[in-house]
Structure 1
Amino acid sequence: MSSIFDKIPSELPTEVFEDIISHQGVRIERILSHGHTSPESGWYDQEEHEWVLVLKGAGTVEFEDGSSVTLEPGEYLNIPAHTRHKVSWTDPNQVTLWLAVFY
């Protein structure tokens, strides 16, 4: 048995992306952020849909159209494929734990 809360480092010099499972067009990923944001150089433009849930901490997802959504623990968001987006803020005072499902 494993826990999504296992092995969370107290310091994160870089954002951590870990696949939990990948099978037949579905991938579940754990993401750990601590004040990290997406690279300034561009937007995520993914082939698959992404459902994302914040389990700990907080983060803001910004969209190319200028809108944004800040997620706190328990809040989730579905991002359709090819919706250009990026993470513009994560909590600098604690680790933000995201669960992302790509389908």
Structure 2
Amino acid sequence: MSFSLSTTVVSPEGEQLYTFEYAALVTQTSIALVQVYVELGVIEAIGSMLHPREIARIAQIQRLRQDLGLNLAGAAMVLDMAAEIAQLRAQLKAHQSRPQNELF
């Protein structure tokens, strides 16, 4: 498998985006598997490019599947629930840090 040097682009928002080929290389998967994840909605692509958080999600899915034996749907659900829990914890922390007189 050969890779060109142009595996990244910068989005209009200034974020680095990476090719499916690069994602497959760093997550030790295949380009076809990355495409399947996009088609199933497990990860989100921007055209044919991926945000680093999506590449990290591929790696996390692979670990959950290999280490815990989860299927793809189960691994995606675990990651979605973990993200939701983190968001709820952040909201709770922000709410708890408000002075009492601002609550009402």
Q: Shorter-chain-normalised TM-score: which range?
A: under 0.3
Q: Which has the higher contact order (CA 8 A, sep 6+)?
A: 1
TM-score (norm 1): 0.24
By percentage of residues, which structure has more strand?
1
By percentage of residues, which structure has more helix?
2
Mark the structure with the bigger radius of gyration: 2
